[in-house]
Chains A and B, each alone.
Chain A
Amino acid sequence: MKASNQETLELPNRLVHEPARLAILTVLSSCESADFVFLRRVAGLTKGNLSVQLVNLEQAGLIVITKEIVERKMRTTVKLSKRGAAEIEEYWQTMDAIRSRMVRRKDRRSARYPLPATARFGFSG
Protein backbone atom coordinates (compact mmCIF):
# COMPACT_ATOMS: atom_id res chain seq x y z
CA MET A 1 0.00 0.00 0.00
CA LYS A 2 1.28 3.51 -0.91
CA ALA A 3 2.11 5.53 2.16
CA SER A 4 0.64 9.02 2.47
CA ASN A 5 3.80 10.05 4.32
CA GLN A 6 7.12 8.32 4.94
CA GLU A 7 6.02 6.52 8.14
CA THR A 8 5.19 2.85 7.72
CA LEU A 9 4.10 0.29 10.28
CA GLU A 10 3.63 -3.43 10.35
CA LEU A 11 -0.01 -4.41 10.87
CA PRO A 12 -0.93 -6.98 13.50
CA ASN A 13 -2.13 -10.37 12.35
CA ARG A 14 -5.91 -10.09 11.87
CA LEU A 15 -6.41 -13.73 12.82
CA VAL A 16 -4.85 -13.03 16.21
CA HIS A 17 -6.25 -9.62 17.06
CA GLU A 18 -9.93 -10.62 16.93
CA PRO A 19 -10.89 -10.38 20.67
CA ALA A 20 -12.17 -13.95 21.18
CA ARG A 21 -9.12 -15.50 19.53
CA LEU A 22 -6.79 -13.02 21.24
CA ALA A 23 -8.28 -13.98 24.63
CA ILE A 24 -7.79 -17.70 23.89
CA LEU A 25 -4.20 -17.20 22.75
CA THR A 26 -3.40 -14.94 25.73
CA VAL A 27 -4.70 -17.60 28.13
CA LEU A 28 -2.78 -20.36 26.37
CA SER A 29 0.42 -18.30 26.39
CA SER A 30 0.16 -18.12 30.22
CA CYS A 31 0.00 -21.89 30.72
CA GLU A 32 1.15 -25.20 29.28
CA SER A 33 -2.38 -26.27 28.30
CA ALA A 34 -5.99 -25.59 29.27
CA ASP A 35 -9.19 -27.53 28.83
CA PHE A 36 -12.38 -26.49 27.04
CA VAL A 37 -14.28 -25.72 30.28
CA PHE A 38 -11.62 -23.33 31.52
CA LEU A 39 -11.28 -21.56 28.17
CA ARG A 40 -15.05 -21.10 27.96
CA ARG A 41 -15.20 -19.74 31.49
CA VAL A 42 -12.20 -17.41 31.26
CA ALA A 43 -13.05 -16.06 27.80
CA GLY A 44 -16.79 -15.79 28.53
CA LEU A 45 -17.76 -17.49 25.27
CA THR A 46 -20.59 -19.87 24.44
CA LYS A 47 -19.74 -23.48 23.55
CA GLY A 48 -20.50 -22.90 19.89
CA ASN A 49 -18.50 -19.71 19.62
CA LEU A 50 -15.49 -21.22 21.39
CA SER A 51 -15.62 -24.33 19.19
CA VAL A 52 -15.61 -22.20 16.03
CA GLN A 53 -12.71 -20.06 17.26
CA LEU A 54 -10.71 -23.15 18.26
CA VAL A 55 -11.24 -24.74 14.85
CA ASN A 56 -10.10 -21.51 13.15
CA LEU A 57 -6.98 -21.35 15.30
CA GLU A 58 -6.22 -25.04 14.78
CA GLN A 59 -6.60 -24.72 11.01
CA ALA A 60 -4.17 -21.79 11.10
CA GLY A 61 -1.70 -23.98 12.99
CA LEU A 62 -1.65 -21.75 16.07
CA ILE A 63 -2.97 -24.32 18.55
CA VAL A 64 -3.01 -28.08 19.04
CA ILE A 65 -6.26 -29.72 20.21
CA THR A 66 -6.20 -33.08 22.00
CA LYS A 67 -9.36 -35.05 22.78
CA GLU A 68 -9.40 -37.90 25.28
CA ILE A 69 -12.04 -39.79 27.23
CA VAL A 70 -11.68 -39.44 31.00
CA GLU A 71 -14.24 -41.12 33.29
CA ARG A 72 -16.58 -41.69 30.35
CA LYS A 73 -16.50 -38.01 29.42
CA MET A 74 -14.76 -36.27 26.56
CA ARG A 75 -12.00 -33.92 27.68
CA THR A 76 -10.71 -31.40 25.17
CA THR A 77 -7.29 -30.00 25.95
CA VAL A 78 -5.84 -27.10 24.00
CA LYS A 79 -2.18 -26.19 23.73
CA LEU A 80 -0.35 -23.38 21.96
CA SER A 81 1.78 -24.57 19.05
CA LYS A 82 5.29 -23.21 18.45
CA ARG A 83 3.92 -21.09 15.63
CA GLY A 84 1.09 -19.86 17.87
CA ALA A 85 3.56 -18.83 20.58
CA ALA A 86 5.61 -16.92 18.01
CA GLU A 87 2.49 -15.26 16.54
CA ILE A 88 1.17 -14.00 19.89
CA GLU A 89 4.63 -12.71 20.82
CA GLU A 90 4.90 -10.91 17.50
CA TYR A 91 1.36 -9.55 17.90
CA TRP A 92 2.20 -7.85 21.21
CA GLN A 93 5.44 -6.44 19.77
CA THR A 94 3.50 -5.00 16.83
CA MET A 95 0.85 -3.52 19.10
CA ASP A 96 3.54 -1.96 21.30
CA ALA A 97 5.16 -0.45 18.21
CA ILE A 98 1.81 0.99 17.05
CA ARG A 99 1.09 2.37 20.50
CA SER A 100 4.48 4.04 20.88
CA ARG A 101 4.25 5.47 17.33
CA MET A 102 0.80 6.90 18.13
CA VAL A 103 2.07 8.45 21.38
CA ARG A 104 5.00 10.05 19.55
CA ARG A 105 2.68 11.45 16.88
CA LYS A 106 0.34 12.83 19.51
CA ASP A 107 3.25 14.49 21.35
CA ARG A 108 4.55 16.04 18.12
CA ARG A 109 1.08 17.33 17.24
CA SER A 110 0.50 18.86 20.67
CA ALA A 111 3.93 20.52 20.51
CA ARG A 112 3.13 21.96 17.07
CA TYR A 113 -0.43 23.08 17.93
CA PRO A 114 -0.51 23.83 21.68
CA LEU A 115 -3.98 24.10 23.18
CA PRO A 116 -5.21 27.57 24.26
CA ALA A 117 -4.92 28.32 27.98
CA THR A 118 -8.70 28.02 28.45
CA ALA A 119 -8.68 24.48 27.09
CA ARG A 120 -5.61 23.48 29.10
CA PHE A 121 -7.23 24.59 32.33
CA GLY A 122 -10.51 22.95 31.47
CA PHE A 123 -12.63 26.10 30.95
CA SER A 124 -15.59 25.68 28.65
CA GLY A 125 -18.01 28.06 26.90
Chain B
Amino acid sequence: MASIASIHSLVCGINQSMESEVYKTDNSPVDHQRLKFGTENLAALQGLDIVALGAMLFFLELTDVVKDSWWLYLLNLAAAVVIVRQMPSKYYERHFGRVEPKSKRPTSRREAVGGLVGILLVIVVLIWGRRIEVWADAVLMGDLSGQIRWVASLAWSARLLRNTQRDSAADPRGPLFYVVGLATSTAICLCPKWYPEVMQSLVWKTLNAGSLGLSLTAWGLRDHLLLVHLLPKNGSDDEGQ
Protein backbone atom coordinates (compact mmCIF):
# COMPACT_ATOMS: atom_id res chain seq x y z
CA MET B 1 0.00 0.00 0.00
CA ALA B 2 1.21 3.51 -0.70
CA SER B 3 0.04 7.05 -0.14
CA ILE B 4 -1.81 8.91 -2.84
CA ALA B 5 1.09 11.40 -2.95
CA SER B 6 3.48 8.73 -4.21
CA ILE B 7 1.13 7.98 -7.10
CA HIS B 8 2.43 11.10 -8.85
CA SER B 9 5.91 9.68 -9.36
CA LEU B 10 4.47 6.33 -10.41
CA VAL B 11 2.19 7.87 -13.04
CA CYS B 12 5.08 10.00 -14.34
CA GLY B 13 7.17 6.83 -14.63
CA ILE B 14 4.41 5.01 -16.50
CA ASN B 15 3.90 7.95 -18.85
CA GLN B 16 7.61 8.29 -19.56
CA SER B 17 8.08 4.59 -20.24
CA MET B 18 4.95 4.47 -22.40
CA GLU B 19 6.41 7.26 -24.53
CA SER B 20 9.68 5.44 -25.16
CA GLU B 21 10.68 5.15 -28.83
CA VAL B 22 10.05 1.39 -29.04
CA TYR B 23 6.38 1.85 -28.25
CA LYS B 24 5.72 4.89 -30.39
CA THR B 25 3.37 3.90 -33.19
CA ASP B 26 1.73 6.81 -34.99
CA ASN B 27 2.48 9.04 -31.98
CA SER B 28 0.37 6.92 -29.62
CA PRO B 29 1.58 4.80 -26.70
CA VAL B 30 1.42 1.01 -26.62
CA ASP B 31 -2.06 -0.08 -27.62
CA HIS B 32 -3.29 -3.10 -25.69
CA GLN B 33 -6.41 -3.38 -27.80
CA ARG B 34 -4.18 -3.86 -30.86
CA LEU B 35 -2.10 -6.47 -29.05
CA LYS B 36 -5.16 -8.46 -27.99
CA PHE B 37 -6.90 -8.18 -31.37
CA GLY B 38 -3.73 -9.16 -33.25
CA THR B 39 -3.16 -12.17 -30.99
CA GLU B 40 -6.75 -13.43 -31.02
CA ASN B 41 -7.18 -12.97 -34.78
CA LEU B 42 -3.77 -14.05 -36.11
CA ALA B 43 -5.19 -17.12 -37.85
CA ALA B 44 -8.32 -15.34 -39.12
CA LEU B 45 -6.31 -12.53 -40.69
CA GLN B 46 -3.99 -14.78 -42.70
CA GLY B 47 -5.63 -13.75 -45.95
CA LEU B 48 -3.22 -14.92 -48.65
CA ASP B 49 -4.78 -18.41 -48.84
CA ILE B 50 -8.17 -16.73 -49.41
CA VAL B 51 -6.51 -14.65 -52.16
CA ALA B 52 -5.29 -17.85 -53.87
CA LEU B 53 -8.74 -19.45 -53.50
CA GLY B 54 -10.41 -16.31 -54.89
CA ALA B 55 -7.98 -16.23 -57.84
CA MET B 56 -8.68 -19.90 -58.58
CA LEU B 57 -12.43 -19.30 -58.49
CA PHE B 58 -12.07 -16.19 -60.67
CA PHE B 59 -10.03 -18.01 -63.35
CA LEU B 60 -12.45 -20.95 -63.21
CA GLU B 61 -15.48 -18.70 -63.78
CA LEU B 62 -13.62 -16.77 -66.47
CA THR B 63 -13.22 -19.90 -68.61
CA ASP B 64 -16.98 -19.57 -69.37
CA VAL B 65 -16.50 -15.99 -70.57
CA VAL B 66 -13.21 -16.23 -72.46
CA LYS B 67 -13.37 -19.16 -74.88
CA ASP B 68 -10.31 -21.19 -75.96
CA SER B 69 -8.20 -19.84 -73.12
CA TRP B 70 -5.57 -22.46 -72.21
CA TRP B 71 -3.65 -19.84 -70.22
CA LEU B 72 -6.60 -19.53 -67.83
CA TYR B 73 -6.23 -23.21 -66.98
CA LEU B 74 -2.53 -22.64 -66.35
CA LEU B 75 -3.29 -19.74 -63.98
CA ASN B 76 -5.91 -21.92 -62.31
CA LEU B 77 -3.37 -24.68 -61.86
CA ALA B 78 -0.83 -22.22 -60.40
CA ALA B 79 -3.39 -21.01 -57.83
CA ALA B 80 -4.26 -24.63 -56.96
CA VAL B 81 -0.55 -25.45 -56.43
CA VAL B 82 -0.21 -22.45 -54.08
CA ILE B 83 -3.17 -23.74 -52.02
CA VAL B 84 -2.18 -27.43 -52.01
CA ARG B 85 1.43 -26.73 -51.04
CA GLN B 86 0.20 -24.49 -48.21
CA MET B 87 2.54 -21.72 -49.27
CA PRO B 88 0.61 -18.92 -47.49
CA SER B 89 0.61 -20.85 -44.18
CA LYS B 90 4.37 -21.36 -44.35
CA TYR B 91 4.89 -17.69 -45.23
CA TYR B 92 2.83 -16.58 -42.22
CA GLU B 93 4.57 -18.97 -39.86
CA ARG B 94 7.99 -17.71 -40.96
CA HIS B 95 7.19 -14.00 -40.86
CA PHE B 96 4.46 -13.65 -38.21
CA GLY B 97 5.10 -16.62 -35.96
CA ARG B 98 2.62 -18.96 -34.31
CA VAL B 99 -0.03 -18.54 -31.68
CA GLU B 100 -1.92 -21.31 -30.01
CA PRO B 101 -5.39 -19.89 -29.36
CA LYS B 102 -7.11 -20.19 -26.02
CA SER B 103 -9.35 -23.19 -25.64
CA LYS B 104 -12.80 -22.20 -26.83
CA ARG B 105 -15.22 -21.01 -24.18
CA PRO B 106 -18.63 -22.71 -24.19
CA THR B 107 -20.73 -21.41 -27.07
CA SER B 108 -23.68 -19.26 -26.08
CA ARG B 109 -27.18 -20.04 -27.36
CA ARG B 110 -27.16 -16.94 -29.58
CA GLU B 111 -23.82 -17.93 -31.15
CA ALA B 112 -25.06 -21.48 -31.73
CA VAL B 113 -28.24 -20.25 -33.45
CA GLY B 114 -26.19 -17.78 -35.55
CA GLY B 115 -23.80 -20.54 -36.61
CA LEU B 116 -26.68 -22.88 -37.50
CA VAL B 117 -28.39 -20.18 -39.59
CA GLY B 118 -25.07 -19.49 -41.35
CA ILE B 119 -24.56 -23.18 -42.20
CA LEU B 120 -28.18 -23.48 -43.44
CA LEU B 121 -27.70 -20.39 -45.64
CA VAL B 122 -24.53 -21.85 -47.18
CA ILE B 123 -26.38 -25.15 -47.91
CA VAL B 124 -29.32 -23.24 -49.46
CA VAL B 125 -26.95 -21.16 -51.65
CA LEU B 126 -25.00 -24.28 -52.72
CA ILE B 127 -28.12 -26.25 -53.69
CA TRP B 128 -30.48 -23.56 -54.97
CA GLY B 129 -27.96 -20.77 -55.70
CA ARG B 130 -28.52 -20.72 -59.46
CA ARG B 131 -32.31 -20.91 -59.08
CA ILE B 132 -32.23 -18.01 -56.61
CA GLU B 133 -30.17 -15.99 -59.08
CA VAL B 134 -32.60 -16.72 -61.92
CA TRP B 135 -35.50 -15.78 -59.64
CA ALA B 136 -33.72 -12.57 -58.53
CA ASP B 137 -33.05 -11.69 -62.18
CA ALA B 138 -36.71 -12.16 -63.04
CA VAL B 139 -38.00 -10.15 -60.05
CA LEU B 140 -35.43 -7.36 -59.93
CA MET B 141 -34.36 -7.04 -63.55
CA GLY B 142 -37.30 -8.45 -65.51
CA ASP B 143 -34.81 -10.75 -67.23
CA LEU B 144 -35.30 -14.51 -67.26
CA SER B 145 -31.86 -15.44 -68.61
CA GLY B 146 -30.34 -15.68 -65.15
CA GLN B 147 -27.02 -14.26 -66.31
CA ILE B 148 -26.50 -11.93 -63.39
CA ARG B 149 -24.52 -13.33 -60.44
CA TRP B 150 -26.02 -12.11 -57.16
CA VAL B 151 -24.00 -14.47 -54.98
CA ALA B 152 -21.19 -11.92 -54.47
CA SER B 153 -23.65 -9.31 -53.15
CA LEU B 154 -25.05 -11.93 -50.77
CA ALA B 155 -21.56 -12.82 -49.61
CA TRP B 156 -20.66 -9.13 -49.04
CA SER B 157 -23.87 -8.67 -47.00
CA ALA B 158 -22.99 -11.69 -44.85
CA ARG B 159 -19.47 -10.38 -44.27
CA LEU B 160 -20.80 -6.93 -43.36
CA LEU B 161 -23.20 -8.44 -40.79
CA ARG B 162 -20.41 -10.59 -39.35
CA ASN B 163 -18.02 -7.66 -39.20
CA THR B 164 -20.35 -5.61 -37.02
CA GLN B 165 -20.06 -8.36 -34.37
CA ARG B 166 -16.26 -8.33 -34.49
CA ASP B 167 -14.04 -6.03 -32.47
CA SER B 168 -14.33 -2.98 -34.69
CA ALA B 169 -12.28 -0.77 -32.34
CA ALA B 170 -9.08 -2.34 -33.66
CA ASP B 171 -10.52 -2.44 -37.17
CA PRO B 172 -12.45 0.84 -37.58
CA ARG B 173 -12.41 0.84 -41.40
CA GLY B 174 -13.84 -2.69 -41.64
CA PRO B 175 -17.54 -1.75 -42.01
CA LEU B 176 -16.71 0.92 -44.62
CA PHE B 177 -14.73 -1.62 -46.67
CA TYR B 178 -17.65 -4.07 -46.65
CA VAL B 179 -20.21 -1.35 -47.46
CA VAL B 180 -18.09 -0.24 -50.47
CA GLY B 181 -17.73 -3.88 -51.58
CA LEU B 182 -21.47 -4.49 -51.25
CA ALA B 183 -22.27 -1.28 -53.18
CA THR B 184 -19.82 -2.19 -55.95
CA SER B 185 -21.05 -5.77 -56.37
CA THR B 186 -24.69 -4.61 -56.33
CA ALA B 187 -23.89 -1.87 -58.87
CA ILE B 188 -22.38 -4.49 -61.21
CA CYS B 189 -25.58 -6.56 -60.88
CA LEU B 190 -27.96 -3.64 -61.34
CA CYS B 191 -26.03 -1.92 -64.14
CA PRO B 192 -27.85 -3.79 -67.00
CA LYS B 193 -31.22 -2.53 -65.69
CA TRP B 194 -30.39 0.97 -66.92
CA TYR B 195 -27.76 0.13 -69.55
CA PRO B 196 -28.80 -3.22 -71.13
CA GLU B 197 -26.08 -2.93 -73.79
CA VAL B 198 -23.42 -3.32 -71.06
CA MET B 199 -24.23 -7.05 -70.92
CA GLN B 200 -22.44 -7.48 -74.26
CA SER B 201 -19.16 -5.94 -73.05
CA LEU B 202 -16.30 -8.21 -72.02
CA VAL B 203 -15.50 -6.07 -68.96
CA TRP B 204 -19.00 -6.46 -67.51
CA LYS B 205 -19.08 -10.17 -68.34
CA THR B 206 -15.72 -10.64 -66.58
CA LEU B 207 -16.75 -8.66 -63.49
CA ASN B 208 -20.14 -10.38 -63.31
CA ALA B 209 -18.88 -13.94 -63.79
CA GLY B 210 -15.86 -13.56 -61.53
CA SER B 211 -17.52 -11.42 -58.86
CA LEU B 212 -17.27 -14.06 -56.12
CA GLY B 213 -13.63 -14.81 -56.92
CA LEU B 214 -12.80 -11.11 -57.00
CA SER B 215 -14.65 -10.60 -53.71
CA LEU B 216 -12.68 -13.40 -52.02
CA THR B 217 -9.44 -11.92 -53.38
CA ALA B 218 -10.37 -8.48 -52.02
CA TRP B 219 -11.22 -9.93 -48.57
CA GLY B 220 -7.99 -11.88 -48.42
CA LEU B 221 -5.88 -8.88 -49.43
CA ARG B 222 -7.62 -6.69 -46.90
CA ASP B 223 -7.15 -9.21 -44.08
CA HIS B 224 -3.48 -9.55 -45.00
CA LEU B 225 -2.97 -5.77 -45.05
CA LEU B 226 -4.76 -5.44 -41.71
CA LEU B 227 -2.45 -8.08 -40.23
CA VAL B 228 0.63 -6.28 -41.57
CA HIS B 229 -0.73 -3.04 -40.10
CA LEU B 230 -1.42 -4.66 -36.71
CA LEU B 231 1.96 -6.41 -36.58
CA PRO B 232 4.38 -4.03 -38.30
CA LYS B 233 7.79 -5.40 -39.22
CA ASN B 234 10.58 -4.43 -36.89
CA GLY B 235 13.20 -3.09 -39.28
CA SER B 236 16.06 -3.18 -36.78
CA ASP B 237 16.37 -6.96 -36.79
CA ASP B 238 16.12 -9.93 -39.13
CA GLU B 239 13.24 -12.40 -39.12
CA GLY B 240 13.58 -15.62 -37.16
CA GLN B 241 14.82 -16.30 -33.69
Q: Which A residues are within 8 Å of any B CB, using their own CB?
A: 1-5, 7-12, 17-20, 22-23, 26-27, 30-47, 49, 73-77, 98, 101-102, 105
Interface 1/0 per residue, B36-65 and A, CB below 8 Å: 101110100000000000000000000000
Contacts of B30 in A (CB 8 A): 19, 22-23
Instruction: Evaluate whether A20 and B22 lie within 8 angstroms (CB atoms) in the complex, with A26-B35, A34-B97 already known.
Output: yes
Judged by DSSP, the binding face of A is mixed
A34 adjacent to B98 (CB under 8 Å): yes
- Out of A26, A31, A36, name the residue touching B102 (CB < 8 Å): A31
Chain B neighbourhood of A20, CB < 8 A: 22-23
Chain A residue at smallest Cβ distance from B94: A37
Residues from chain A with Cβ under 8 Å of B11 in the complex:
98
**Known: A26-B36, A42-B35, A42-B39. Contact between A2 and B3, CB under 8 A?**
yes
Summed over the interface, the residue pairs from A and B with CB atoms below 8 Å come to a total of 140
Q: Which of B130-138, B178-186, B195-203, B230-238 contacts A (4 or more CB under 8 A)?
A: B230-238
B residues within 8 A CB of A46? 234, 236-237
Q: How far is the CA of A74 from the CA of B236 in the complex (A)?
A: 21
Q: Is B1 an interface residue (CB 8 A)?
A: yes
Whether the Cβ atoms of A98 and B231 lie closer than 8 Å is: no
Q: How far is the CA of A31 from the CA of B98 in the complex (A)?
A: 11
Contact of A34 with B23 in the complex, beta carbons under 8 Å: no
Bound: A1/B7 CA distance, A: 12
What are some 14 contacts across the A-B interface (CB < 8 A)? A1-B3, A4-B5, A9-B7, A19-B17, A19-B18, A19-B29, A22-B30, A31-B99, A31-B101, A31-B102, A38-B42, A42-B35, A43-B35, A44-B22
Q: Considering the chains assembled together, what is the distance between the CA atoms of A42 and B35 in angstroms? A: 7
Residue B103 is within 8 A (CB to CB) of chain A in the complex: yes
Selected from A10, A19, A101, A102, the residue in CB contact (under 8 A) with B23 is: A19
Identity of the chain A residue whose Cβ is nearest the Cβ of B38 in the assembled complex = A42
Q: Once bound together, how far apart are the Cα atoms of A102 and B15, in whole Å?
A: 15
Q: In the docked arrangement, what's the CA distance between A47 and B39, Å?
A: 19
Q: Is B171 an interface residue (CB 8 A)?
A: no
B42: which A residues are within 8 A, CB to CB? 38
B14 sits at the interface (CB 8 A): yes
**Known contacts A1-B3, A9-B7, A31-B101: A23-B234 contact under CB 8 Å:** no
Q: Which residue of B lies closest to A76 (CB)?
A: B241
When chains A and B are docked, how far (Å) is the Cα of A39 from the Cα of B240?
Answer: 11
Given A44-B234, A45-B22, A46-B236, 5 more A-B residue pairs with CB atoms under 8 Å apart are A4-B3, A9-B1, A27-B36, A32-B103, A44-B25
- Whether B237 pairs with A40 at a CB distance below 8 angstroms is yes
Nearest chain A CB to B170's CB is how many angstroms away? Answer: 12
Q: In the complex, are the beta carbons of B35 and A8 less than 8 A apart?
A: no
B98 and A7 within 8 A (CB): no
> Is A37's CB under 8 angstroms from B96's CB?
yes
Identify the 5 closest CB pairs spanning chains A and B, nearest first.
A38-B97, A37-B97, A3-B3, A36-B241, A32-B100
**Chain A residues whose C-beta falls within 8 Å of the C-beta of B25 in the assembled complex:** 44
